[in-house]
Amino acid sequence: MDSVGHTYQAGKKQIHALEDIDLHINHGEFVTIIGPSGCGKSTLLMIAAGLELPTAGEVHIGGHKVTGPFTDSGFVFQDASLLDWRTTLKNILLQAEARGMDPEHAQQRARELMDLTGIGGFEDVYPTELSGGMRQRVSICRALLHDPPILFMDEPFGALDAMTREQMMLDTQDLWLHGDKTVLFVTHDIGEALVLADKVVVLGPRPGRILKIYDVPFPRPRSMDTLGEPTATEMQHEIRELLREHGAF
Ligand SMILES: Nc1ncnc2c1ncn2[C@@H]1O[C@H](COP(=O)(O)OP(=O)(O)OP(=O)(O)O)[C@@H](O)[C@H]1O
Ligand SMILES: [Mg+2]
């Protein structure tokens, strides 16, 4: 991502959401983006996925300039965005229908993913009958169905209670450790950003600019206990101070 900026045109008003974002992500890296509400995190993620085209700068994936939706990826939204009139399995299979995947193969893969993410047995249940955490798991299965090399996740656990969030975080780590995926993950939570990431990108208030990029050195698998280690405590403190200095809260 080179010198990326974005200005929305909302009627006569212009909203300058992002400015001068230079970000390089390596294959297989887990990168988290953290910053205050409204600083342009979702905008940045959508631009990276080609769902929004930047008004300045360029995005390249694997050497190719992104000029439209980057289809070889999966996207997990903040709310699970499930269709209430389709069963869990059929929600996951939406991805297969959109891509014209072989139905039998897709169904087998969907069932495998459901087992892997701990929602096996809930194939014929409707989304309204699931807990928030389970709905998010369905959404993650849908994003992974076509085995994309890149996964974009926009505050996927933001609406969940602390205990479920912790479990989802550890499960996401497992999924990533057992795969070969590049993940770009937006969060409000400094701890979550540190437990998951190889690299934490800290954005300042709107228009979002990169304040600092931290390399996260802790060995994996990590847990919430990792956050209790002195270096981790120090990093959390530093990120909080950096955000405060820039008026994030
Ligand atoms: N489609 C749009 N049209 C006009 N303005 C928009 C649009 N989408 C976002 N914005 C504005 O751009 C700014 C950045 O929005 P964005 O959703 O990227 O922030 P965010 O960091 O993801 O916030 P949050 O943490 O609350 O999700 C905000 O001021 C928002 O009002
Ligand atoms: Mg957002």
Range of the domain at 30: 2-72+149-245
Mean pLDDT (the chain) is: 95
- Say yes or no: 98 and 112 in one domain: yes
Q: What is the pLDDT of residues 161-175, one digit of tens each?
A: 889 889 989 999 999
- Say yes or no: 165 and 99 in one domain: no
Which residue carries 């970000």 as its tokens?
Answer: 23
Give the pLDDT of residue 83: 96
Nearest residue CA, atom 16 of ligand 1?
40
Which phi and psi angles does 103 have, rounded to 5°? -60, -40
* Mean pLDDT of the 222-230 span: 95
Cα–Cα dist 84/93, whole Å: 14
| Ligand lying nearest the CA atom of residue 17 | 1
Query: What's the length of the chain?
Result: 249
- Say yes or no: 184 and 116 in one domain: no
Give the pLDDT of residue 111: 97
Give the pLDDT of residue 80: 85
- Say yes or no: 233 and 131 in one domain: no
The yes-or-no verdict on residue 249 having pLDDT over 90 is: no
For the Cβ of 163 lying below 6 angstroms from any atom of ligand 1, the answer is: no
The ligand 1 atom nearest the CA atom of 44 = 18
The yes-or-no verdict on residue 97 having pLDDT over 90 is: yes
Q: For the whole model, what pTM was predicted?
A: 0.95
| Domain boundary pick from 92, 116, 148 | 148
Residue 23 binned pLDDT confidence (cut-offs 50, 70, 90): very high
Cα–Cα dist 34/243, whole Å: 10
Query: How many helices and strands in the chain, by DSSP H and E?
Result: 7, 11
The yes-or-no verdict on residue 30 having pLDDT over 90 is: yes
- Say yes or no: 153 and 43 in one domain: yes
Give the chain's domain count: 2
The yes-or-no verdict on residue 95 having pLDDT over 90 is: yes
Cα distances (angstroms) measured from residue 225 to each of 32, 38, 49, 152, 157:
19, 30, 33, 26, 19
The yes-or-no verdict on residue 247 having pLDDT over 90 is: no
E strands present in the chain: 2-10, 13-21, 30-34, 56-58, 60-61, 64-65, 73-76, 150-154, 182-187, 199-203, 210-215
Contacts of 155 (CB under 8 A, 6+ apart): 41, 78, 186, 187, 188
| Domain boundary pick from 148, 179, 203 | 148
Give the pLDDT of residue 158: 87
Give the pLDDT of residue 245: 95
Residue 191 binned pLDDT confidence (cut-offs 50, 70, 90): very high
- Say yes or no: 168 and 230 in one domain: yes
The yes-or-no verdict on residue 147 having pLDDT over 90 is: yes
Which phi and psi angles does 157 have, rounded to 5°? -110, 10
- Say yes or no: 48 and 156 in one domain: yes
| Ligand lying nearest the CA atom of residue 77 | 2
| Ligand lying nearest the CA atom of residue 206 | 1
For the Cβ of 136 lying below 6 angstroms from any atom of ligand 1, the answer is: no
DSSP 128: G
Q: What is the pLDDT of residues 109-145, one digit of tens each?
A: 999 999 988 999 999 999 999 999 999 999 999 999 9
| Domain boundary pick from 148, 179, 207 | 148
Residue 45 binned pLDDT confidence (cut-offs 50, 70, 90): very high
For the Cβ of 41 lying below 6 angstroms from any atom of ligand 1, the answer is: yes
- Say yes or no: 140 and 97 in one domain: yes
Share of the chain above pLDDT 90, in %: 91
Q: What is the pLDDT of residues 54-93, one digit of tens each?
A: 999 999 999 999 999 999 999 999 888 999 999 999 999 9
CA of 37 to the centre of ligand 1 (A): 8
- Say yes or no: 124 and 218 in one domain: no
- Say yes or no: 95 and 53 in one domain: no
CA angle (74 as vertex; 69, 78 as ends), nearest 5: 100
Give the pLDDT of residue 102: 97
